[in-house]
Amino acid sequence: MKRKLAFMSALAGGLLVAGNGWAQEAAEEAGEVITAEYVQFMVNNIWILIAAALVFVMHLGFAMIESGLERSKNTVNILFKNGCIVAIGLLTYAAFGFNLMYPGDEWIAGNVFGFAGFGLSPGEDGQTMAYADGAYTYFTDFIFQGMFAATAATIVSGAVAGRIKLGSFLIFSTLFVGIVYPIIGSWKWGGGWLDQMGFYDFAGSTLVHGVGGFAALAGAIVLGPRLGKYIEGNIRPIVGHSMPLAALGMFLLWFGWFGFNGGSVLSADPDAVSFVFTTTALAAASGLLVAAGVSALVSKKPDLSMALNGALAGLVGITAGADVVSLLGAIIAGGVAGAIVVFAVIGFDKVKIDDPVGAISVHGVCGIWGTVAVGIFGGSEYSVGVQLLGALVAGATAFVLAFILFTILKVTLGIRVEEEVEYKGLDLVEHGQEAYGGFQVFSTE
C-alpha cells in the first residue's frame, strides 16, 4: 500500500503545476524589452502547438479510415477503440511515457532503458520555461510528443479490427503505448543507442509507423483471420462499408501529416519547414498515383482502397527523411512505397495474415522502406546498413513485445470474441449499439 501511495504522490507532485505567472506577461509587467530572440521562441512554440493539433487530427483520420474499411457491424467498436486510445495515450504519456521516452540523464540499463520519473516536471517554481532545443516550452514538447504516442497503438487497432475483445485490446493498448512505444522511441529520440550509432529517423517511419505496424503484425498473427476470410485456400475479400469515410480518413491523415512531419523540424525554421512540407506532399502524391496505377495493372481495375493506402504509404515512406532527401528522392521514395503497399497487401493475404485495413503493409513494411530510403536519397552521411539495422531491430522488438503481450492476454482473458459475436458484429454484442440504428432510407433510385 505504501508503494502505491508513493506512486500516487509522485504522480500528483509531477502534475501539480499551477498555470499562473506567464513569461510574456511577467516580462512586460517588469518593463523588459521584447527581444527578437524571444519572439523567435514564440513563433517556434506556436508552430509546434499547431502541429500538435494537426497530429491530433490524424487520430480522427485513423478512426475514419479504419471504420470505413471494415463492415458496418463493427463500426461502433472501432470508433470506441480509437477514441479510447487517444485518451489512454495522452494520460499514460503524462503519467510515465514521456519520461520513459526522454529519460535525459536517467538511463538505467545502458542506453536501452531509462526513466526520469512519474508525472510531468516542467521545472522549478511551476514555471514552464524549460526549453528543448532552445525553442519551445516543456508543455509544448509534451503535447506534441504525446499526440505522437497514441498513434502507434491506433495503427494496431486497424489490423485487429472485427474480432478482438474490447477489454483485452484496451489493456494491450495501455501497455503498448505507455511502455513499449516510449522505450523504443528513447533509443533514438531520447538519445539512446540507436541515436549514438548514427541511425536517422526524422519523424518516425520506424519509431512510430514501423513500431505500430509490426505490433499490428503480431496482433493479426495471434488473433488469426476474421471468419470467412480464407476458405478452402481461397481469399474472400471482405469489403469496407463506407468508402467516403475511408477517403475522409486518408485526406485527414495527409492533412495531419503536415504537422507530424512539419512539426518534427522542432522549430519554425522557414527553409526546413517549407522543404518538409514539399517533400511530404510530393511523396504522398507519388504514392497515391503509383499505388493506383500498380493496382490497376495487377487487378485490372483502379482500386480506391489501394490509392488511399498508397498516399499513406508515400507519407510513411517520406517520414524518416523528409528533411534530408532531395525532391526527386521524395517522389521516388513515395512512389516506391506506393508500389510496395500493393504487393504487401496481396502478399499478406497470400500467407493468410488478415489485416482489414492494410496497416501492416502501410506502416510496417513502408516504415522500413522509408527508413532505408534515407540511406539511399539522403546523402552520404546516412548509411543504408545502419538504417536497415535500426528499422529491423525496432520493428522486431515491437513485434516480439506485442506478441508476448497478446499471447499473455490470449491465455488469460482471451483476446478473440466468440464466433457468434463476430458473426453478429462487435457493435451489437460488445456495445449493445448499432452504428446506423436510426438510419432509414426512404427511396432508392
User: Which residues in 160-189 contact a second copy (CB under 8 A)?
Assistant: 166
Q: Which stretch binds a second copy (CB under 8 A): 151-159, 206-214, 406-414, 425-433?
A: 425-433
CB-wise, 326 or 407, nearer to a second copy? Answer: 326
Query: Which parts of 255-284 interact with a second copy (CB under 8 A)?
Result: 255, 258-259, 262, 267-279, 281-282, 284
What is the DSSP code string of 188-247? HTTS-HHHHTT---SS-IIIIIIHHHHHHHHHHHHH-PPTTSEETTEE-----S-HHHHH
CB-wise, 207 or 281, nearer to a second copy? Answer: 281
Could you tell me if residue 379 is left (phi over 0), alpha (psi between -120 and 50 degrees) or otherwise beta? left
Which residue in the set 112, 132, 400, 428 belongs to the binding site for a second copy (CB under 8 A)?
428
How many residues in the shown chain lie near a second copy by CB under 8 A?
Answer: 146
Q: Is 43 in the site for a second copy (CB under 8 A)?
A: yes
CB of 88 to a second copy, least distance (A): 7
Residues 64-83, one symbol each (x = binds a second copy by CB under 8 A, - = not), give x--xx-xxxx-xx--xx-xx
Q: Is 403 in the site for a second copy (CB under 8 A)?
A: no
Q: Is 298 in the site for a second copy (CB under 8 A)?
A: no
CB-wise, 217 or 281, nearer to a second copy? Answer: 281
Q: HSE (CB half, 13 Å, CA atoms) of 192?
A: 28
Q: Is 399 in the site for a second copy (CB under 8 A)?
A: no
Amino acid letter at 243? Answer: M
Amino acid letter at 129? Answer: M
CB of 336 to a second copy, least distance (A): 15
Hey, which residues does 109 pair with through a beta bridge? 113
Cβ-based neighbours of 273, under 8 Å, separated by 6 or more: 47, 262, 265, 267
Degrees, nearest 5: CA angle 71-72-77: 95
CB-wise, 21 or 385, nearer to a second copy? Answer: 21
Q: Is 9 in the site for a second copy (CB under 8 A)?
A: no
Q: Is 421 in the site for a second copy (CB under 8 A)?
A: no
Q: Is 29 in the site for a second copy (CB under 8 A)?
A: no
User: Quick check: 253 and 267 in contact, CB under 8 A?
Assistant: no
Query: Which parts of 316-355 interact with a second copy (CB under 8 A)?
Result: 322-328, 331
CB-wise, 308 or 365, nearer to a second copy? Answer: 308
Per-residue burial over 287-300, b = 16 or more CB atoms within 10 Å of its CB, e = otherwise? bbbbbbbbbeeeee
Number of neighbours of residue 166 by Cβ within 10 angstroms: 15
Query: Which parts of 88-107 interact with a second copy (CB under 8 A)?
Result: 88, 90-91, 94
Q: Which stretch binds a second copy (CB under 8 A): 14-22, 210-218, 357-365, 393-401?
A: 14-22
CB of 324 to a second copy, least distance (A): 5
What is the DSSP code string of 395-419? HHHHHHHHHHHHHHHHHTT-SB--H
Degrees, nearest 5: CA angle 39-43-45: 110
Q: Is 233 in the site for a second copy (CB under 8 A)?
A: no
User: Quick check: 58 and 257 in contact, CB under 8 A?
Assistant: yes
Q: Is 146 in the site for a second copy (CB under 8 A)?
A: yes
Per-residue cell: 309:
493506402
Q: HSE (CB half, 13 Å, CA atoms) of 384?
A: 4
CB-wise, 38 or 404, nearer to a second copy? Answer: 38
Hey, which residues does 164 pair with through a beta bridge? 416
Q: Is 157 in the site for a second copy (CB under 8 A)?
A: no
Which residue in the set 127, 132, 403, 416 belongs to the binding site for a second copy (CB under 8 A)?
127
CB-wise, 24 or 196, nearer to a second copy? Answer: 24
**Helix/strand/coil for 113:** strand
Mutual angle of helices 211-223 and 366-377, in 10-degree steps = 150
CB-wise, 46 or 396, nearer to a second copy? Answer: 46
Which residue in the set 113, 139, 193, 403 belongs to the binding site for a second copy (CB under 8 A)?
139
Which residue in the set 56, 148, 176, 230 belongs to the binding site for a second copy (CB under 8 A)?
56
Q: Is 445 in the site for a second copy (CB under 8 A)?
A: yes
Q: Is 46 in the site for a second copy (CB under 8 A)?
A: yes
CB of 89 to a second copy, least distance (A): 8
Q: Would the CA dihedral through 370, 374, 376, 378 be positive or negative?
A: positive
